[in-house]
Amino acid sequence: DAKTTQPNSMESNEEEPVHLPCNHSTISGTDYIHWYRQLPSQGPEYVIHGLTSNVNNRMASLAIAEDRKSSTLILHRATLRDAAVYYCILQKTGANNLFFGTGTRLTVIP
């Protein structure tokens, strides 16, 4: 499975935008880019996914580099409830499971 690289931790001030980076230099053409997050004492939660184009939903935006070797999850206004571990995951089309790494622990400062 293609590997992703994320910073271990990041901090953000409340109500400011957060850009969470992910490198995936060995991505193949059929790999989807997923983001999940895990709040303390909860199971992971789907955030967003994309293939080639940038994506927006109610939770976040996903910006994908033109060569697809990196992507950025954008939280437009961080709140205290966004403090979580964020996982960037590559999934091949038709694959049935998700391979989580260790993710980025986001701390939101009031």
10: its two tokens: 């990041």
Q: Which of 10, 21, 44, 68 binds another protein (CB under 8 A)?
A: 44
Q: Give the Cα separation of 61 and 90 in Å (integer).
A: 17
Q: How does 52-91 read in b/e, with b if 16+ C-beta sit within 10 Å? A: eeebeeeebbbbbeeebebbbbebeebeeebbbbbbbbbb
Closest to 10 (Cα-Cα) out of 107, 77, 100: 107
Q: Footprint of another protein on residues 61-90 (CB under 8 A)?
A: 85, 87
**Does residue 7 belong to the site contacting another protein (CB under 8 A)?**
no
CB of 32 to another protein, least distance (A): 6
Q: Which of 34, 62, 78, 106 binds another protein (CB under 8 A)?
A: 34
Q: Which of 7, 10, 21, 49 binds another protein (CB under 8 A)?
A: 49
Q: Based on CB atoms, which residue is closest to another protein, 15 or 94? A: 94
